[in-house]
Amino acid sequence: MKVMSAVARGVIKCMGFKHDVPTSAHHTEAGDDIDSELSPLSIPEDYKSLISYCFRSVGLTEDHVSISVHPVGQRPSGLEIYAAFVKVMCRDSSTTTLLNEMPHIEKMIDRGIRRSDMPRYSSFAGLWFQSSPEQGGSSATMH
């Protein structure tokens, strides 16, 4: 398991979730291994970590959905806009039941983003859903 970024750990902590974060193998006494700034490369991963955590909290795993986060534009203020693309990998009754929890999951994601430093460095456009090709449909929706 990869070490979560400082922002993702902070978001999860602010949301009140308990988690085990693996520690880095290279610790220094001065705390040089702490990443206190966001970089353009870490922002999509921070969004993805937060969204994945929220999906896992209701029981949706990587077997159910695939999540990717990409920049989709730029605000007039210069902030990059990111969107999460969620592909439904397995459509069965349990997945459909869990996806009915989307309003709850979206609230968790919004709350986590607002409580983090990510809005200072980026903007979040929302979630886009698409069925996998094996599902026989090309429907895409945004939430």
Contact 27, 133 (CB under 8 A): no
Cα–Cα dist 117/47, whole Å:
11
Q: What percent of the chain has pLDDT over 90?
A: 38
Number of domains present in the structure of the chain = 1
Cα–Cα dist 128/126, whole Å:
7
Domain extent, residue 110, equals 6-24+32-142
Residue 1 lies in a domain: no
Which pLDDT score, from 0 to 100, does residue 133 have? 62
pLDDT at 24 over 60: no
Residue 122 lies in a domain: yes
Nearest to 15 by CA among 73, 56, 70, 44: 56
pTM here is: 0.65
Residue 65 lies in a domain: yes
